[in-house]
């Protein structure tokens, strides 16, 4: 089975979100760069990111901070979000080869319904979409991937995770799963070096997954 992360793997949202993340965190007084956002937060759950921000600042963020920025994310995604180039064809090729697929993301189900629906991928995965909100620990813990495998009835050793973050790669390894790192977005390939294989084009994904499951 191929387990897909969502943001940056299925939907090309990370490059959009990171721009807003840097501005939103900057408004709190932390002059963080987009590169630092990628390094520190890409692939982590919202709860873990918030905890890390508050730890750095030394105090809680304002109660309405997340709400004030939510509209900016929604508007940007509605206007500019697209599927990752080539991912629909890669999914189709995996399905044609007889492989099952699912989604396991740090994002909420509500967010995934919006973003996957926006690019026409929700219906393909509906019923096979899992969120970090369903488990005790988000990535880099293995909980989410093990949850997805268990719910799908597939042994961990027969799963390949497709990830674009170092935390997702670490979670896949901790779950005893193989991993394809996708460096075709904003994540530097060096941050995905613990993956079994790193690709920069989704056209290479079907062959990579098939080889890892051979």
Rounded mean pLDDT, 106-129? 93
- What's this model's pTM, rounded to 2 decimal places? 0.87
Is residue 74 located within the same domain as residue 99? no
In 60-214, the DSSP E strands lie at 101-105, 129-131, 160-163, 178-182, 197-199
pLDDT reported for residue 179:
98
Task: Report the domain count for the chain.
Answer: 2
Q: How far apart are CA 89 and CA 112, in angstroms?
A: 20
Domain finish residue from 80, 99, 116? 80
pLDDT reported for residue 70:
87
Domain finish residue from 80, 96, 120? 80
Domain finish residue from 80, 99, 134? 80
Reported as a single tens digit per residue, the pLDDT across 51-100 is: 999 999 999 999 899 888 988 988 999 999 999 999 999 999 999 999 99
Is residue 96 located within the same domain as residue 36? no
Query: What is the CATH number for 26?
Result: 1.10.150
- 48 pLDDT tier (thresholds 50, 70, 90): confident
- Cα 187 to Cα 15, 101, 117, 199, 213, distances in angstroms: 9, 23, 24, 11, 25
Q: At residue 44, does pLDDT exceed 90?
A: no
Is residue 163 located within the same domain as residue 118? yes
Q: For the chain, what is the mean pLDDT?
A: 94
Q: Are 181 and 169 in contact (CB under 8 A)?
A: yes
């Amino acid at each position: 089975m191929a387990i897909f992360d969502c943001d940056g793997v299925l939907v090309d949202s990370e490059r959009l979100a990171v721009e807003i993340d840097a501005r939103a965190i900057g408004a709190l007084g932390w002059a963080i760069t987009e590169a630092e956002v990628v390094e520190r937060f890409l692939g982590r759950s919202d709860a873990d990111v918030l905890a890390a921000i508050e730890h750095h600042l030394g105090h809680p963020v304002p109660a309405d901070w997340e709400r004030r920025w939510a509209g900016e994310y929604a508007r940007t995604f509605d206007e500019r979000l697209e599927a990752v180039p080539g991912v629909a064809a890669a999914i189709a090729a995996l399905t044609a080869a007889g492989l099952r697929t699912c989604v396991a993301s740090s994002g909420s189900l509500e967010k995934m319904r919006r973003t996957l629906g926006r690019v026409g991928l929700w219906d393909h995965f509906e019923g096979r979409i899992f969120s970090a909100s369903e488990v005790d620990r988000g990535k880099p813990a293995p909980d989410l991937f093990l949850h997805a495998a268990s719910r799908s009835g597939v042994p961990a050793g027969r799963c390949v995770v497709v990830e674009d973050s170092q935390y997702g790669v670490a979670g896949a390894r901790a779950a005893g799963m193989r991993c394809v790192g996708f460096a075709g977005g904003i994540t530097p390939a060096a941050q995905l070096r613990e993956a079994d294989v790193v690709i920069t084009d989704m056209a290479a994904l079907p062959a990579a997954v098939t080889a890892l499951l051979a």
